[in-house]
Structure 1
Amino acid sequence: MKLSKIYSNQSGYFNPIEFNEGLNVILGEIRLPENKDKDTHNLGKSKLMELIDYGLLKERKNTFFLFKHYALFEGFVFFYEFKLNSGKYITVRRSVSNNTKISIKRHEDKYQNFISLSEDSHAWDFYDIAIDKAKLILDAEFNLKEISPWDYRAAVNYALRNQDDFSDIFKLSNFLGRHLYWKPYVGKVLGFNADNLKRNYELAFAIEKEKEILADLRADLGGIIGDEEEVLSGLLEFKRKEASLLQEQLDTFNFNKADTDNIERLVSEIDEDIVELNRVKYYLSSNIRRLRGTVEERKVSFKVSPTKKLFEEAGVLFDGQLKKSYAELLEFNRKITVERKKYVKERLLKLERELYEVSASLDELNEARSKRLVYLNTMGTFDKYKEVTSVLLAVKTEINDIHRKLTLSTKVGESEFKIEEDTRLQQEVKQKIKIDRDDVTKAKDGVYQSIKANFASFVETVLDKNGFISTKQNKEGNLEFYAGIMSDTGEQTSESDGHSYKKILCMGYDLAVNLAYGGSGFVRFIYHDGGLETLDERKKIAFLEYVRTIPELSGTQYILTLIDTDLPKGVSLTEDEIVLTLHDDGPSGRLFKMPSW
């Protein structure tokens, strides 16, 4: 899969671009002296990458320049010609105004022009189909079987590396979410079993979610000690007996048991609780009065003149040995007082809250005591009937709540079992990842070894240094990927972290991957935006020599954007290599031949 041609129905504003099979340079010329020292020039080099992504059916975003300036581009229809790995061609038609409807045509020859092709289903193999269906068709046509089960869009992300994607070799700027969304794909490309990598992330996520559910269930159950089901079943049996006795009293109009229960509750529980709470209330009130007294402002407890005189005499007697002056003593005393008051106020606030809670509990108990005394002293049979009915309803409510908690207890057991089962499965998957990693890294051939060799060759050729790619399994069982420059002793150098080297290492990695998959079902083009910026002259020359020969020999189409000032001295590009020239001297030099927007 390579780029062949891009054109539009607005040829006066957008000139057709025809790509060759090897090195393709998008050259920006700075003709105006006042722009020589600027970092950005807005010629359209980066916009072309976005436009290619649009033709590969990237979802619409309002921040995308075609829609951000919709009034300017509403009438545009773009045509994208791709060369398939089979050697045949396919053209994708996508407009701006009706961007979710896609037309596709297969053809045998390159550099076609289908602008005037009839807009109906007879002229196109697929006409105005939904974008999701079009993606499925393109995925089948591109046939990138090496990245299955991922579709072609995953490979496109790495084939189009923009200015923001040079900070990390493996992770692109748009991969802001969980590692699940990109690490298994990288593992797949490097030759590892991606199913295991993906499964490990999925299981880890499922376990964490299940633990959150379990925590919520336990919080709803409350602080039950021991086996929840056993405790709740015992409590349910007790409450059922209590309800049965209450119902029996209602059926027989015999409330002696209710009277006995009220007396026992009054004596053994309520009165005892009231006595205990009154004791606590007295303790709290006493402490609050004592602490309130300490908060009041007090004068310094020593006299100024005698103390000052004592310090002066001591200063003469112990000349140079005294470390604290009288002023420092006063300051020390002030700080101690402030800190002590702060602590006392915090303690006082806590005790006052406790006193409020105890007083509220006492009010509730005294009210309950009063009701039971009224019940025992004044209630007739009918009143007692209503009281027992009320108690029975409360008990039945408790029984229903116990049933609910028993259901929760069952769910707790199911949740615990699922966590145990997923944890067991995860351990198996981690072991599979370990075995697979050992097999891949120790194999003498295979795509992993090929990518490593290609990367090392690139770094040696372009940077004259030792390049490496390696992996390891972390404690979560996932693979970590590393690439950079190492010393002769095998240690990674800090050069890999510098912006210039990081950028060229990213480019080297992309090339290494494409070269390893040359001739197979993989994307066969790379677009690097601003690849030569910040590199020194020698490295630029070495890099250009590399991409002029090695990628083309291996069937990789390489597209590079650069400013003419970034081109090293003594190096010239051929007419075939420069597929598009942009400049800053008026609208004619821009990607879209119109005033700046």
Structure 2
Amino acid sequence: MLNKITSDFDTFKPVSFHDGLNIVLAEKTDSSTDRQTRNGAGKSSLVELINTLLGSDIRKDSLVKNPIFSDRTFTLDMTINGNNIEISRSADSPSKIVVNKDESGVIPFKSIEDNNLVITNETWLNFLGEQVFNLDNSSKKLKHSVTFRLLFSYFARSSKGFDVPDKTFPQQARWQSQVALTYLLKLNWMLVRDFETIRQKEKLVKALIKASNEGALKGIMGSASELSTEIHLKSAQLNSLKNALENFKVLPEYREKETRADIITQELSALCLEDLTDRDWLANLERTVATENEPDNSKVLRLFEQAAIEFSDVIDRKFDEFMSFHSSIVANRKAHLSEEIQVIKHRMLEREKKKLALDDERSEILSLLKSHGALDQFYKLQGIFSKAESKVELLKEKLKATENLDVQKTDIKIDKGTLKKKTLIDHSERSEAIKEAVITFGDISEALYDQPGRFTIEPTDDGPKFDFEIEGKKSTGKSKMQIFCFDMMMMKLWTNEDRRPRVLIHDSYLFDGVDERQVAKALYIGSKWAKEFDFQYIITMNSDDLPDMSSHEGFNLEEHLVDLKITDTETGGLFGVRF
């Protein structure tokens, strides 16, 4: 239990606590205006300060990090398992705890400063976990493990911890609430760790699937069936390329042969063109020879006959000479044409021989080119094969990755089912603990609202699900009272433990929107249970929110008020200053 909080900050108002119900009231002075509130009186700050002294992290936005507290120390006097312990902490040394008094004699010290033990905050938390919740220090080495701060946050909720019973702040991870509640309810909390491991694995698989569909890994994975089909088709193409490579014959002078074949083709084309020209000329010559006739000498003869009247002897001789000359010209012409015809035919015959030789040479080259290939063609074919082979290997890797994801998805479903089964068995074996929790929650809620509320623990594929039902819980007040019932239930469940939390702290947020009658009942139940089950119940309230307690016999308000005067004035708050 908590005994006293002090500080060397000059204007800080020391706070002393007593057994049972402790009500910290923030008063409103007569001179207060409508604009003045008690939000700065220090109610929530007191809860935060207690958490700070009990090992919570000191962050940049922490209360004690305010510059006005520089070089200032806050001290907590408390009793743990019958032993008085006093510690001090400063924001200037957030990782250091000064132990002023230790009647337990079991706090392992790191060093001694000014005759006081100095330990790390980690050591302090380990000590608190062992003394308050009987935590085995070996568990702290486990990932997603139960810790003192995780558990104690349910017994000293921050101002953000009054939305739902199973969370102490809105962004609390599922595994944290599940681990804490299963431990506090005395169920197998180690199973929850396994659920979180599966969740992390499932989260990774989902991220990979999303990335493969639309993110950085798009195209790396796909449908296993589609990939298998594509692999079969690409493999068949790859085999064809492989056979082509194996049967490929390299011809070193391939390019020379290819060039020679092109030249022969050009030569054959030129020869064919020459043949066409000679054939046309030969046809003309042959027609000329065929139509060539002996000359008609009749007109010449008549001319010579008329001239012979005057020159008979001379004309006869000249005519014979003319006829002989003319016949020789005709004969010579025919002989020349015949000779030209023979020359053309010979030329065409030689050309034909050359064409046959060239054609044979070209056929031989083409046959060789058909059965062999050039070295660069071979390299090109090798490149195509390598690319095709790489594509097939990539497809296989895609298929492997996709199948691996499919297997992991299946494994996750199986693991979830297995864990759910283990959870069912665990809940069956610990049915008495669950029964006690359910009945206790029902009793407290019935005392508040005349009807028992329902607290259920449902084993699911995602770990235990905790649900709290109070009739009409949609109202703000009843939703807050679920938290009251849950927290009180926890205090009762731990009553018979040798090491247990003996303090429960509720900030004034708990009663926001709660009907005055339920607030009165809550205070009455709180005081009664704190006494019956031997724990300290600390609550903060505004004075004008304090309900009429006259209907609750035996409730003496003065017994429960903490001797601390805080108001809404500039110097009336817990720290004596506004900041």
Within 5 Å, give how 1:517-532 maps onto structure 2: 517-520=494-497, 521-530=499-508, 531-532=510-511
CA distance in 2, matches of 1:416, 1:500: 48
CA distance in 2, matches of 1:581, 1:473: 48
SS at match of 1:158: coil
CA distance in 2, matches of 1:394, 1:522: 74
CA distance in 2, matches of 1:438, 1:477: 18
Task: Give the CA deviation at 1:219.
Answer: 3.5
Task: Give the CA deviation at 1:99.
Answer: 1.5
Q: TM-score, normalised by structure 2?
A: 0.67
Within 5 Å, give how 1:509-548 maps onto structure 2: 509-520=486-497, 521-530=499-508, 531-548=510-527
Question: What's the counterpart of residue 68 of structure 2?
Answer: 72
Question: What's the counterpart of residue 124 of structure 1?
Answer: 116
Task: Give the CA deviation at 1:569.
Answer: 3.8
Correspondence for 2:201 among 200, 206, 209: 206
SS at match of 1:160: coil
Task: Give the CA deviation at 1:143.
Answer: 4.4
1:409 aligns with 2:399: yes
CA distance in 2, matches of 1:227, 1:570: 75
CA distance in 2, matches of 1:128, 1:200: 35
**For this pair of structures, how many residues does the alignment match?**
444
Question: What's the counterpart of residue 584 of structure 1?
Answer: 568
CA distance in 1, matches of 2:170, 2:514: 26
SS at match of 2:448: helix
CA distance in 1, matches of 2:21, 2:136: 24
Task: Give the CA deviation at 1:25.
Answer: 1.5
Question: What's the counterpart of residue 363 of structure 1?
Answer: none
SS at match of 1:43: coil
The residue type paired with residue 47 of structure 2 is M
Task: Give the CA deviation at 1:426.
Answer: 1.9
CA 1:402–1:106 in structure 2 vs 1: closer, same or farther (change >3 Å)?
Answer: farther
Within 5 Å, give how 1:378-397 maps onto structure 2: 385-397=375-387
Question: What's the counterpart of residue 454 of structure 1?
Answer: 440
Q: Is the 8 A contact 1:180 1:202 kept in 2?
A: no
Within 5 Å, give how 1:448-527 maps onto structure 2: 448-474=434-460, 476=461, 478-485=463-470, 493-494=471-472, 496-520=473-497, 521-527=499-505
Listed one character per residue, the Cα deviations across residues 418-465 of structure 1 (whole Å, up to 9, x for unaligned) are 33333222211112223333454xx4xx33333333323322333333
CA distance in 2, matches of 1:35, 1:192: 52
1:150 aligns with 2:142: no
1:57 aligns with 2:55: yes
Task: Give the CA deviation at 1:76.
Answer: 1.1
Question: What's the counterpart of residue 323 of structure 1?
Answer: none
Listed one character per residue, the Cα deviations across residues 486-511 of structure 1 (whole Å, up to 9, x for unaligned) are xxxxxxx32x1211122223112101
CA distance in 2, matches of 1:393, 1:203: 45
CA distance in 1, matches of 2:443, 2:481: 13
CA 1:252–1:240 in structure 2 vs 1: closer, same or farther (change >3 Å)?
Answer: farther
Task: Give the CA deviation at 1:251.
Answer: 4.6
Task: Give the CA deviation at 1:75.
Answer: 1.8
Q: Is the 8 A contact 2:222 2:399 kept in 1?
A: no
Q: Is the 8 A contact 2:185 2:437 kept in 1?
A: yes
Task: Give the CA deviation at 1:203.
Answer: 1.9
Tell me which stretches of 4 or more aligned residues in structure 1 moved more than 6 Å: none
Listed one character per residue, the Cα deviations across residues 96-152 of structure 1 (whole Å, up to 9, x for unaligned) are 12222333355239xxxxxxxxx9357334x253x3344334333434349975111
Task: Give the CA deviation at 1:191.
Answer: 3.7
CA distance in 2, matches of 1:89, 1:143: 18
CA 1:9–1:573 in structure 2 vs 1: closer, same or farther (change >3 Å)?
Answer: same
- Between 456-465 and 31-40, the greater mean CA deviation after superposition: 31-40
Q: Is the 8 A contact 1:26 1:560 kept in 2?
A: yes
CA 1:60–1:556 in structure 2 vs 1: closer, same or farther (change >3 Å)?
Answer: same
Q: Is the 8 A contact 1:74 1:96 kept in 2?
A: yes
Question: What's the counterpart of residue 557 of structure 2?
Answer: 573
Between the two proteins, what is the percent identity of the paired residues? 17
Q: Is the 8 A contact 1:218 1:412 kept in 2?
A: no
The residue type paired with residue 428 of structure 1 is T
CA distance in 1, matches of 2:198, 2:546: 50
The residue type paired with residue 376 of structure 2 is K
- Structure 1 gap ranges (5+): 110-118, 260-375, 486-492
The residue type paired with residue 76 of structure 1 is R
1:164 aligns with 2:147: no
The root-mean-square deviation of aligned C-alpha atoms, in Å, is: 3.7
Q: Is the 8 A contact 2:224 2:402 kept in 1?
A: no
Question: What's the counterpart of residue 323 of structure 2?
Answer: none
SS at match of 1:497: coil
Listed one character per residue, the Cα deviations across residues 382-437 of structure 1 (whole Å, up to 9, x for unaligned) are 99543542342242133234334334433444433333333222211112223333
SS at match of 2:220: helix
CA distance in 2, matches of 1:532, 1:9: 32
The residue type paired with residue 168 of structure 1 is V
The residue type paired with residue 220 of structure 2 is D
Task: Give the CA deviation at 1:529.
Answer: 0.7
SS at match of 1:169: coil
The residue type paired with residue 400 of structure 2 is T
SS at match of 2:520: helix
Task: Give the CA deviation at 1:46.
Answer: 0.6
Question: What's the counterpart of residue 419 of structure 1?
Answer: 409
The residue type paired with residue 188 of structure 2 is N
Q: Find the structure with the greater CA-based Rg.
A: 2
Question: What's the counterpart of residue 267 of structure 1?
Answer: none
Question: What's the counterpart of residue 356 of structure 2?
Answer: none
Q: TM-score, normalised by structure 1?
A: 0.65
Question: What's the counterpart of residue 353 of structure 2?
Answer: none
Listed one character per residue, the Cα deviations across residues 30-54 of structure 1 (whole Å, up to 9, x for unaligned) are 0134446866441011111111111
1:242 aligns with 2:238: no
- Between 143-152 and 499-508, the greater mean CA deviation after superposition: 143-152
Question: What's the counterpart of residue 220 of structure 1?
Answer: 220
Question: What's the counterpart of residue 183 of structure 1?
Answer: 178
CA distance in 2, matches of 1:83, 1:28: 26
- Structure 2 gap ranges (5+): 105-110, 140-144, 259-365, 551-555
Q: Is the 8 A contact 2:227 2:398 kept in 1?
A: no
Task: Give the CA deviation at 1:158.
Answer: 0.7
CA distance in 2, matches of 1:36, 1:497: 30
Question: What's the counterpart of residue 289 of structure 1?
Answer: none
Q: Is the 8 A contact 1:175 1:182 kept in 2?
A: no
Question: What's the counterpart of residue 3 of structure 1?
Answer: 2
Within 5 Å, give how 1:88-127 maps onto structure 2: 88-108=83-103, 120-121=112-113, 123-125=115-117, 127=118
CA distance in 2, matches of 1:570, 1:425: 54
SS at match of 2:82: coil
Question: What's the counterpart of residue 536 of structure 2?
Answer: 557
